[in-house]
Protein backbone atom coordinates (compact mmCIF):
# COMPACT_ATOMS: atom_id res chain seq x y z
CA UNK A 1 0.00 0.00 0.00
CA UNK A 2 2.74 2.48 0.91
CA UNK A 3 4.64 1.60 -2.28
CA UNK A 4 1.48 2.38 -4.22
CA UNK A 5 1.43 5.79 -2.55
CA UNK A 6 4.97 6.42 -3.79
CA UNK A 7 3.99 5.50 -7.33
CA UNK A 8 0.90 7.67 -7.02
CA UNK A 9 2.95 10.72 -6.07
CA UNK A 10 5.22 10.48 -9.09
CA UNK A 11 3.86 8.67 -12.17
CA UNK A 12 7.34 8.11 -13.57
CA UNK A 13 8.59 6.89 -16.90
CA UNK A 14 10.63 3.72 -17.08
CA UNK A 15 14.10 5.12 -17.34
CA UNK A 16 17.79 4.20 -17.53
CA UNK A 17 21.22 2.89 -16.57
CA UNK A 18 24.85 3.07 -17.72
CA UNK A 19 25.76 1.42 -21.03
CA UNK A 20 28.50 -0.65 -19.41
CA UNK A 21 29.53 -2.68 -22.44
CA UNK A 22 29.83 0.37 -24.75
CA UNK A 23 31.77 2.35 -22.15
CA UNK A 24 34.70 -0.05 -22.71
CA UNK A 25 34.89 0.81 -26.41
CA UNK A 26 38.02 2.92 -26.89
CA UNK A 27 36.13 4.97 -29.52
CA UNK A 28 33.35 5.80 -27.04
CA UNK A 29 35.20 8.99 -26.11
CA UNK A 30 33.04 11.64 -24.49
CA UNK A 31 30.05 9.25 -24.51
CA UNK A 32 31.53 7.28 -21.58
CA UNK A 33 32.72 10.28 -19.55
CA UNK A 34 30.09 9.72 -16.87
CA UNK A 35 31.21 6.15 -16.29
CA UNK A 36 34.97 6.72 -16.34
CA UNK A 37 36.55 10.22 -16.45
CA UNK A 38 39.78 8.79 -17.93
CA UNK A 39 38.15 6.94 -20.86
CA UNK A 40 38.18 9.93 -23.30
CA UNK A 41 41.98 10.09 -22.86
CA UNK A 42 42.37 6.68 -24.57
CA UNK A 43 40.33 7.66 -27.62
CA UNK A 44 42.54 7.17 -30.73
CA UNK A 45 40.76 10.14 -32.31
CA UNK A 46 41.92 13.65 -31.49
CA UNK A 47 38.33 14.90 -31.26
CA UNK A 48 34.93 13.46 -30.57
CA UNK A 49 31.36 14.85 -30.63
CA UNK A 50 28.25 13.29 -29.13
CA UNK A 51 24.99 14.49 -30.66
CA UNK A 52 22.60 12.56 -28.44
CA UNK A 53 22.60 9.27 -26.53
CA UNK A 54 19.72 7.73 -24.57
CA UNK A 55 19.93 4.75 -22.23
CA UNK A 56 16.73 3.30 -20.75
CA UNK A 57 16.75 0.75 -17.94
CA UNK A 58 14.42 -0.73 -15.33
CA UNK A 59 15.05 -3.56 -12.88
CA UNK A 60 12.93 -4.84 -10.00
CA UNK A 61 12.10 -7.96 -8.01
CA UNK A 62 8.78 -6.67 -6.66
CA UNK A 63 6.32 -7.00 -9.55
CA UNK A 64 6.23 -8.41 -13.09
CA UNK A 65 4.06 -8.94 -16.18
CA UNK A 66 3.46 -12.55 -17.15
CA UNK A 67 4.46 -14.04 -20.51
CA UNK A 68 5.27 -10.80 -22.30
CA UNK A 69 8.11 -8.82 -23.93
CA UNK A 70 8.81 -5.11 -23.99
CA UNK A 71 7.93 -4.78 -27.66
CA UNK A 72 4.71 -6.73 -27.05
CA UNK A 73 3.51 -4.30 -24.38
CA UNK A 74 2.40 -1.82 -27.05
CA UNK A 75 -0.61 -3.95 -28.03
CA UNK A 76 -1.10 -5.86 -24.77
CA UNK A 77 -4.17 -5.60 -22.54
CA UNK A 78 -2.55 -5.70 -19.11
CA UNK A 79 -4.71 -6.69 -16.15
CA UNK A 80 -3.68 -6.53 -12.50
CA UNK A 81 -4.28 -9.29 -9.99
CA UNK A 82 -7.17 -8.43 -7.70
CA UNK A 83 -9.20 -10.27 -5.12
CA UNK A 84 -12.12 -7.97 -5.87
CA UNK A 85 -12.06 -8.82 -9.61
CA UNK A 86 -11.30 -12.48 -8.89
CA UNK A 87 -8.03 -12.32 -10.88
CA UNK A 88 -5.52 -14.23 -8.80
CA UNK A 89 -2.11 -15.70 -9.62
CA UNK A 90 -0.63 -16.44 -13.04
CA UNK A 91 -3.41 -17.85 -15.19
CA UNK A 92 -2.24 -16.55 -18.55
CA UNK A 93 -0.32 -13.79 -20.34
CA UNK A 94 -0.50 -10.03 -19.70
CA UNK A 95 -1.11 -10.25 -15.97
CA UNK A 96 0.60 -7.76 -13.67
CA UNK A 97 1.40 -9.85 -10.63
CA UNK A 98 3.71 -9.71 -7.58
CA UNK A 99 6.60 -11.92 -6.54
CA UNK A 100 5.77 -14.07 -3.54
CA UNK A 101 8.67 -12.72 -1.48
CA UNK A 102 8.77 -10.98 1.89
CA UNK A 103 10.98 -8.20 0.51
CA UNK A 104 11.26 -6.56 -2.86
CA UNK A 105 12.84 -3.56 -4.52
CA UNK A 106 13.11 -1.62 -7.73
CA UNK A 107 15.55 0.61 -9.58
CA UNK A 108 14.92 2.84 -12.56
CA UNK A 109 17.21 5.45 -14.03
CA UNK A 110 17.61 7.35 -17.27
CA UNK A 111 20.63 9.07 -18.72
CA UNK A 112 20.26 11.31 -21.76
CA UNK A 113 23.66 12.60 -22.90
CA UNK A 114 23.10 15.76 -24.90
CA UNK A 115 25.50 17.76 -27.07
CA UNK A 116 29.00 17.02 -25.78
CA UNK A 117 32.53 17.11 -27.16
CA UNK A 118 36.12 16.28 -26.27
CA UNK A 119 39.45 17.35 -27.74
CA UNK A 120 43.00 16.06 -27.20
CA UNK A 121 45.91 18.52 -27.39
CA UNK A 122 49.63 18.48 -26.61
CA UNK A 123 50.84 21.05 -24.10
CA UNK A 124 54.59 21.10 -23.46
CA UNK A 125 54.89 17.65 -25.12
CA UNK A 126 52.26 16.24 -22.76
CA UNK A 127 48.83 15.00 -23.87
CA UNK A 128 45.69 16.49 -22.33
CA UNK A 129 42.06 15.70 -23.08
CA UNK A 130 39.45 18.37 -22.46
CA UNK A 131 35.72 17.82 -22.72
CA UNK A 132 32.38 19.42 -22.03
CA UNK A 133 29.13 17.49 -21.65
CA UNK A 134 25.44 17.93 -20.90
CA UNK A 135 23.19 15.31 -19.32
CA UNK A 136 19.58 14.89 -18.21
CA UNK A 137 19.24 12.17 -15.60
CA UNK A 138 16.37 10.48 -13.77
CA UNK A 139 16.68 7.94 -11.00
CA UNK A 140 14.58 6.34 -8.28
CA UNK A 141 14.90 3.22 -6.18
CA UNK A 142 13.81 1.30 -3.11
CA UNK A 143 15.85 -1.52 -1.58
CA UNK A 144 14.33 -4.33 0.51
CA UNK A 145 10.89 -2.81 0.95
CA UNK A 146 8.17 -5.05 2.39
CA UNK A 147 6.25 -6.79 -0.40
CA UNK A 148 2.80 -6.25 1.08
CA UNK A 149 1.19 -6.28 -2.38
CA UNK A 150 1.88 -10.00 -2.76
CA UNK A 151 -1.31 -10.66 -0.80
CA UNK A 152 -3.27 -9.45 -3.84
CA UNK A 153 -2.56 -12.73 -5.65
CA UNK A 154 -3.63 -15.10 -2.88
CA UNK A 155 -6.89 -16.56 -1.72
CA UNK A 156 -6.42 -15.18 1.78
CA UNK A 157 -9.72 -13.66 2.89
CA UNK A 158 -8.07 -11.19 5.22
CA UNK A 159 -4.63 -10.15 6.44
CA UNK A 160 -5.64 -8.76 9.80
CA UNK A 161 -2.27 -7.35 10.88
CA UNK A 162 0.96 -6.67 9.04
CA UNK A 163 4.06 -4.95 10.42
CA UNK A 164 5.56 -2.83 7.66
CA UNK A 165 9.30 -2.45 8.31
CA UNK A 166 11.04 0.95 8.21
CA UNK A 167 12.14 1.93 4.72
CA UNK A 168 13.47 4.72 2.54
CA UNK A 169 12.76 5.51 -1.09
CA UNK A 170 13.58 8.53 -3.23
CA UNK A 171 13.50 9.92 -6.74
CA UNK A 172 15.23 12.76 -8.58
CA UNK A 173 15.15 14.29 -12.04
CA UNK A 174 18.12 16.58 -12.70
CA UNK A 175 20.39 18.09 -15.33
CA UNK A 176 24.17 18.37 -15.48
CA UNK A 177 26.65 20.60 -17.24
CA UNK A 178 30.16 19.26 -16.78
CA UNK A 179 33.77 19.67 -17.83
CA UNK A 180 36.23 16.80 -18.18
CA UNK A 181 40.02 16.95 -17.93
CA UNK A 182 42.38 13.98 -18.19
CA UNK A 183 46.15 13.65 -18.56
CA UNK A 184 48.95 11.21 -17.83
CA UNK A 185 50.76 11.86 -14.57
CA UNK A 186 53.39 9.12 -15.02
CA UNK A 187 54.93 7.44 -18.05
CA UNK A 188 57.88 5.28 -18.93
CA UNK A 189 58.59 2.94 -21.84
CA UNK A 190 55.82 0.45 -21.01
CA UNK A 191 53.51 1.98 -18.40
CA UNK A 192 51.18 4.95 -18.11
CA UNK A 193 49.22 6.38 -15.21
CA UNK A 194 46.32 8.63 -16.21
CA UNK A 195 44.31 10.92 -13.95
CA UNK A 196 40.90 12.24 -14.98
CA UNK A 197 38.07 14.18 -13.41
CA UNK A 198 34.66 15.71 -14.07
CA UNK A 199 33.37 18.83 -12.36
CA UNK A 200 29.58 19.11 -12.71
CA UNK A 201 27.03 21.82 -12.06
CA UNK A 202 23.76 20.18 -11.00
CA UNK A 203 20.26 21.53 -11.62
CA UNK A 204 17.42 19.72 -9.84
CA UNK A 205 13.98 19.74 -11.47
CA UNK A 206 11.91 17.17 -9.55
CA UNK A 207 12.62 15.27 -6.35
CA UNK A 208 10.91 13.12 -3.75
CA UNK A 209 12.12 11.52 -0.55
CA UNK A 210 10.01 9.24 1.65
CA UNK A 211 11.30 7.88 4.95
CA UNK A 212 9.28 5.80 7.41
CA UNK A 213 11.30 5.54 10.63
CA UNK A 214 9.00 3.22 12.58
CA UNK A 215 7.55 -0.23 12.00
CA UNK A 216 4.10 0.78 10.79
CA UNK A 217 1.16 -1.46 11.72
CA UNK A 218 -1.17 -2.16 8.82
CA UNK A 219 -4.57 -3.66 9.49
CA UNK A 220 -6.42 -4.90 6.46
CA UNK A 221 -9.88 -6.44 6.29
CA UNK A 222 -11.72 -7.90 3.32
CA UNK A 223 -15.49 -7.89 3.01
CA UNK A 224 -16.57 -11.49 2.30
CA UNK A 225 -19.56 -10.32 0.27
CA UNK A 226 -18.02 -8.01 -2.36
CA UNK A 227 -14.29 -8.57 -1.59
CA UNK A 228 -13.85 -4.85 -0.98
CA UNK A 229 -10.90 -4.01 1.27
CA UNK A 230 -10.25 -1.61 4.08
CA UNK A 231 -6.69 -0.76 5.18
CA UNK A 232 -5.64 1.26 8.22
CA UNK A 233 -2.12 2.35 9.16
CA UNK A 234 -0.90 3.14 12.68
CA UNK A 235 2.38 3.61 14.61
CA UNK A 236 4.00 5.35 11.65
CA UNK A 237 6.64 8.09 11.68
CA UNK A 238 6.91 9.37 8.12
CA UNK A 239 9.02 12.19 6.71
CA UNK A 240 8.13 13.12 3.14
CA UNK A 241 9.73 15.81 0.96
CA UNK A 242 9.00 16.73 -2.63
CA UNK A 243 9.25 19.36 -5.33
CA UNK A 244 8.11 19.22 -8.95
CA UNK A 245 7.99 21.45 -12.00
CA UNK A 246 4.58 20.09 -13.02
CA UNK A 247 1.79 22.65 -12.78
CA UNK A 248 -1.29 20.60 -11.86
CA UNK A 249 -3.64 23.55 -12.40
CA UNK A 250 -2.27 24.51 -15.81
CA UNK A 251 -1.68 20.86 -16.80
CA UNK A 252 1.82 21.62 -18.05
CA UNK A 253 5.44 21.05 -17.06
CA UNK A 254 7.62 24.09 -16.42
CA UNK A 255 11.30 23.45 -16.99
CA UNK A 256 13.03 25.41 -14.27
CA UNK A 257 15.61 24.49 -11.60
CA UNK A 258 14.07 23.86 -8.19
CA UNK A 259 17.46 22.94 -6.71
CA UNK A 260 21.16 23.50 -7.31
CA UNK A 261 24.38 21.73 -6.42
CA UNK A 262 27.74 20.44 -7.58
CA UNK A 263 29.10 17.00 -8.39
CA UNK A 264 32.51 15.43 -8.89
CA UNK A 265 33.84 12.30 -10.62
CA UNK A 266 37.45 11.17 -10.16
CA UNK A 267 39.23 8.42 -12.08
CA UNK A 268 42.70 6.86 -12.12
CA UNK A 269 43.80 4.46 -14.89
CA UNK A 270 46.95 2.33 -15.11
CA UNK A 271 48.02 0.84 -18.44
CA UNK A 272 50.67 -1.45 -19.78
CA UNK A 273 51.26 0.32 -23.09
CA UNK A 274 52.39 -1.04 -26.46
CA UNK A 275 53.85 1.89 -28.42
CA UNK A 276 54.19 -0.16 -31.60
CA UNK A 277 50.46 -0.89 -31.62
CA UNK A 278 49.66 2.50 -30.10
CA UNK A 279 47.33 0.66 -27.77
CA UNK A 280 47.33 -0.88 -24.33
CA UNK A 281 47.94 -4.52 -23.53
CA UNK A 282 46.26 -4.12 -20.14
CA UNK A 283 44.24 -1.30 -18.60
CA UNK A 284 42.99 -1.05 -15.01
CA UNK A 285 40.98 1.88 -13.73
CA UNK A 286 39.35 2.93 -10.49
CA UNK A 287 36.66 5.61 -10.42
CA UNK A 288 34.61 7.37 -7.75
CA UNK A 289 31.46 8.71 -9.40
CA UNK A 290 28.78 11.22 -8.40
CA UNK A 291 30.24 12.77 -5.29
CA UNK A 292 27.84 15.58 -4.41
CA UNK A 293 24.27 16.59 -3.68
CA UNK A 294 21.51 19.02 -4.68
CA UNK A 295 19.75 21.40 -2.30
CA UNK A 296 16.04 21.77 -3.10
CA UNK A 297 13.32 24.20 -2.09
CA UNK A 298 9.96 22.46 -1.93
CA UNK A 299 7.79 21.00 0.84
CA UNK A 300 8.69 18.84 3.85
CA UNK A 301 5.89 16.98 5.63
CA UNK A 302 5.83 14.98 8.86
CA UNK A 303 3.15 12.45 9.80
CA UNK A 304 3.01 10.59 13.13
CA UNK A 305 -0.49 10.87 14.48
CA UNK A 306 -3.64 8.84 14.82
CA UNK A 307 -4.38 5.79 12.60
CA UNK A 308 -4.93 6.71 8.96
CA UNK A 309 -7.73 5.03 6.97
CA UNK A 310 -6.80 4.64 3.30
CA UNK A 311 -10.49 4.53 2.39
CA UNK A 312 -10.31 8.29 2.84
CA UNK A 313 -8.70 8.40 -0.59
CA UNK A 314 -11.50 6.49 -2.31
CA UNK A 315 -13.32 8.52 -4.93
CA UNK A 316 -10.92 11.44 -4.69
CA UNK A 317 -9.21 12.67 -7.86
CA UNK A 318 -5.74 13.60 -6.65
CA UNK A 319 -3.99 15.96 -9.07
CA UNK A 320 -0.71 16.66 -7.25
CA UNK A 321 1.51 15.56 -4.34
CA UNK A 322 0.51 18.73 -2.49
CA UNK A 323 -3.17 17.74 -2.65
CA UNK A 324 -2.36 14.22 -1.47
CA UNK A 325 -0.42 15.48 1.57
CA UNK A 326 -3.14 17.97 2.42
CA UNK A 327 -5.73 15.17 2.46
CA UNK A 328 -3.51 13.13 4.78
CA UNK A 329 -2.88 16.14 7.02
CA UNK A 330 -6.61 16.90 7.27
CA UNK A 331 -7.37 13.29 8.17
CA UNK A 332 -4.58 12.96 10.74
CA UNK A 333 -4.35 16.45 12.29
CA UNK A 334 -7.64 18.05 11.32
CA UNK A 335 -5.77 20.75 9.41
CA UNK A 336 -4.61 20.46 5.75
CA UNK A 337 -1.43 22.45 6.46
CA UNK A 338 -0.47 21.06 9.88
CA UNK A 339 1.93 18.45 8.41
CA UNK A 340 4.07 21.07 6.63
CA UNK A 341 7.38 21.19 8.51
CA UNK A 342 9.69 23.17 6.19
CA UNK A 343 10.67 24.00 2.64
CA UNK A 344 14.31 22.89 2.27
CA UNK A 345 15.72 19.39 1.78
CA UNK A 346 18.72 17.67 0.19
CA UNK A 347 19.08 14.71 -2.17
CA UNK A 348 22.53 13.16 -2.56
CA UNK A 349 23.83 12.02 -5.94
CA UNK A 350 24.07 8.23 -6.53
CA UNK A 351 27.69 7.91 -5.43
CA UNK A 352 29.35 4.69 -6.58
CA UNK A 353 32.72 2.99 -7.04
CA UNK A 354 33.63 1.64 -10.48
CA UNK A 355 36.51 -0.79 -11.00
CA UNK A 356 37.48 -1.85 -14.54
CA UNK A 357 39.98 -4.26 -16.08
CA UNK A 358 40.41 -4.43 -19.85
CA UNK A 359 42.80 -6.86 -21.58
CA UNK A 360 43.68 -6.74 -25.27
CA UNK A 361 43.52 -10.34 -26.50
CA UNK A 362 44.77 -9.52 -29.99
CA UNK A 363 44.53 -6.54 -32.29
CA UNK A 364 41.12 -4.86 -31.86
CA UNK A 365 39.84 -7.65 -29.54
CA UNK A 366 39.28 -6.93 -25.84
CA UNK A 367 38.09 -8.79 -22.76
CA UNK A 368 36.60 -6.48 -20.11
CA UNK A 369 35.46 -6.77 -16.51
CA UNK A 370 33.49 -4.07 -14.66
CA UNK A 371 32.40 -3.96 -11.04
CA UNK A 372 30.14 -1.15 -9.82
CA UNK A 373 29.30 -0.84 -6.13
CA UNK A 374 26.96 1.83 -4.80
CA UNK A 375 28.43 3.89 -1.97
CA UNK A 376 25.90 6.55 -0.85
CA UNK A 377 27.55 9.09 1.43
CA UNK A 378 25.23 12.12 1.63
CA UNK A 379 21.85 12.72 3.20
CA UNK A 380 18.99 11.02 1.34
CA UNK A 381 21.38 9.81 -1.36
CA UNK A 382 20.06 8.06 -4.44
CA UNK A 383 21.11 4.42 -4.61
CA UNK A 384 22.14 3.01 -7.96
CA UNK A 385 22.30 -0.67 -8.90
CA UNK A 386 25.28 -2.88 -8.09
CA UNK A 387 26.72 -4.47 -11.25
CA UNK A 388 29.24 -7.18 -12.11
CA UNK A 389 29.79 -7.27 -15.88
CA UNK A 390 32.01 -9.33 -18.20
CA UNK A 391 32.16 -8.41 -21.88
CA UNK A 392 34.08 -9.25 -25.03
CA UNK A 393 34.28 -6.66 -27.79
CA UNK A 394 35.84 -5.99 -31.18
CA UNK A 395 36.78 -2.33 -31.58
CA UNK A 396 37.69 -0.97 -34.99
CA UNK A 397 37.54 2.59 -36.28
CA UNK A 398 34.35 2.27 -38.32
CA UNK A 399 32.72 -0.59 -36.49
CA UNK A 400 32.61 -1.99 -32.98
CA UNK A 401 30.54 -4.79 -31.49
CA UNK A 402 30.46 -7.04 -28.48
CA UNK A 403 28.49 -9.17 -26.05
CA UNK A 404 28.23 -9.08 -22.27
CA UNK A 405 27.00 -11.01 -19.27
CA UNK A 406 25.92 -9.12 -16.14
CA UNK A 407 24.81 -9.76 -12.61
CA UNK A 408 22.59 -6.89 -11.43
CA UNK A 409 22.57 -6.64 -7.65
CA UNK A 410 24.97 -9.59 -7.93
CA UNK A 411 22.03 -11.97 -8.44
CA UNK A 412 20.02 -11.28 -11.64
CA UNK A 413 21.76 -12.76 -14.68
CA UNK A 414 21.35 -10.73 -17.88
CA UNK A 415 22.88 -10.84 -21.36
CA UNK A 416 23.65 -7.86 -23.55
CA UNK A 417 25.16 -6.78 -26.87
CA UNK A 418 26.07 -3.60 -28.72
CA UNK A 419 26.91 -2.41 -32.23
CA UNK A 420 28.75 0.77 -33.19
CA UNK A 421 28.42 1.37 -36.92
CA UNK A 422 29.97 4.67 -38.02
CA UNK A 423 27.94 7.36 -36.20
CA UNK A 424 25.21 5.07 -34.83
CA UNK A 425 25.44 3.07 -31.59
CA UNK A 426 22.72 0.68 -30.44
CA UNK A 427 22.90 -1.78 -27.59
CA UNK A 428 21.36 -3.32 -24.51
CA UNK A 429 22.61 -4.68 -21.20
CA UNK A 430 19.51 -6.90 -21.03
CA UNK A 431 18.68 -7.88 -24.59
CA UNK A 432 16.24 -10.80 -24.43
CA UNK A 433 13.26 -9.10 -22.69
CA UNK A 434 13.12 -6.51 -25.47
CA UNK A 435 12.00 -8.97 -28.16
CA UNK A 436 11.36 -12.36 -26.52
CA UNK A 437 8.47 -13.13 -24.20
CA UNK A 438 9.50 -13.69 -20.59
CA UNK A 439 7.58 -15.79 -18.08
CA UNK A 440 8.02 -12.91 -15.64
CA UNK A 441 8.91 -9.65 -17.38
CA UNK A 442 10.49 -7.44 -14.72
CA UNK A 443 13.51 -5.75 -16.33
CA UNK A 444 14.78 -4.29 -19.59
CA UNK A 445 17.46 -1.99 -21.01
CA UNK A 446 18.15 -0.27 -24.32
CA UNK A 447 20.83 2.18 -25.45
CA UNK A 448 20.81 4.36 -28.60
CA UNK A 449 23.42 6.97 -29.49
CA UNK A 450 24.51 9.20 -32.36
CA UNK A 451 27.95 10.79 -32.53
CA UNK A 452 30.55 12.24 -34.91
CA UNK A 453 34.25 11.41 -35.04
CA UNK A 454 36.93 11.11 -37.76
CA UNK A 455 36.59 7.85 -39.66
CA UNK A 456 40.02 7.90 -41.33
CA UNK A 457 43.31 7.11 -39.62
CA UNK A 458 46.29 9.38 -40.13
CA UNK A 459 48.89 6.63 -39.81
CA UNK A 460 47.30 3.30 -40.79
CA UNK A 461 50.56 1.48 -41.51
CA UNK A 462 51.21 0.15 -38.01
CA UNK A 463 53.79 -2.40 -39.19
CA UNK A 464 56.30 0.38 -39.86
CA UNK A 465 55.90 1.88 -36.42
CA UNK A 466 58.88 1.54 -34.18
CA UNK A 467 58.71 -0.10 -30.76
CA UNK A 468 60.34 2.97 -29.32
CA UNK A 469 58.62 6.31 -29.01
CA UNK A 470 60.56 8.25 -31.64
Give me the residue spans of the domains in the chain.
Answer: 2-62+99-397+409-427+442-464
CA atoms within 13 A on the CB side of 228: 6
Phi, psi of 324 (to 5 degrees): -65, -45
Question: Are 75 and 58 contacting, i.e. CB atoms less than 8 angstroms apart?
Answer: no
Residue 96 β-bridge partners:
65, 80
What's the pLDDT tens digit per position in 329-352?
998 999 999 999 999 999 999 999
Q: Residue 28 pLDDT more than 70?
A: yes
pLDDT band at 159 (very low <50, low <70, confident <90, very high): low
pLDDT band at 198 (very low <50, low <70, confident <90, very high): very high
Q: Residue 126 pLDDT more than 70?
A: yes
Question: Are 41 and 183 contacting, i.e. CB atoms less than 8 angstroms apart?
Answer: yes
- HEC readout, 37-86: CCHHHHCCCCEEEEEEEEEEEEEECCEEEEEECCHHHHHCCCEECECCCC
Distance of CA 255 to the CA centre of its chain: 21
Question: Are 459 and 466 contacting, i.e. CB atoms less than 8 angstroms apart?
Answer: no
For position 16, what pLDDT does the model report?
35
Task: Tell me what percent of the residues of the chain surpass a pLDDT of 90.
Answer: 49
For position 20, what pLDDT does the model report?
85
3-class secondary-structure state, position 29: helix
**How far apart are the C-alpha atoms of 128 and 124, rounded to whole Å?**
10
**How far apart are the C-alpha atoms of 217 and 308, rounded to whole Å?**
11
Mean pLDDT, residues 369-381: 92
Q: 74 vs 77, 192, 285, CA distance in Å?
A: 9, 50, 41
Q: Residue 269 pLDDT more than 80?
A: yes
The β-bridge relationship of strands 95-98 and 79-80 is parallel
For position 153, what pLDDT does the model report?
61
What's the pLDDT tens digit per position in 209-246?
999 999 888 887 766 666 667 778 889 999 999 999 88
**How far apart are the C-alpha atoms of 16 and 57, rounded to whole Å?**
4
Q: Residue 81 pLDDT more than 80?
A: no
Count of beta carbons in the 10 Å neighbourhood of residue 286? 15
Amino acid sequence: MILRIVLLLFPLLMSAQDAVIFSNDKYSGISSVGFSPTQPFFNPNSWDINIVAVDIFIQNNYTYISKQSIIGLADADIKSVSLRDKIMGISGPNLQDYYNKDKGGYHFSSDILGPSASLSVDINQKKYTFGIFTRLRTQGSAIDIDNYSRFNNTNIDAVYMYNFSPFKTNFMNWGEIGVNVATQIFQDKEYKLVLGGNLKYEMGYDAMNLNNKNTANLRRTVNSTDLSTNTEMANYDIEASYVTGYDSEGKQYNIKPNGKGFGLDIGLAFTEWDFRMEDYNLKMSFNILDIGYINFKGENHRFNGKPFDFNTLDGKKIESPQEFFQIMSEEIYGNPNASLAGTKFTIGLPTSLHFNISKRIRENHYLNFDLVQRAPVFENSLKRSNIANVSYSVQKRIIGYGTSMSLYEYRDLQFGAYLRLASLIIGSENFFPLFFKQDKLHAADIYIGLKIYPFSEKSPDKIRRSKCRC
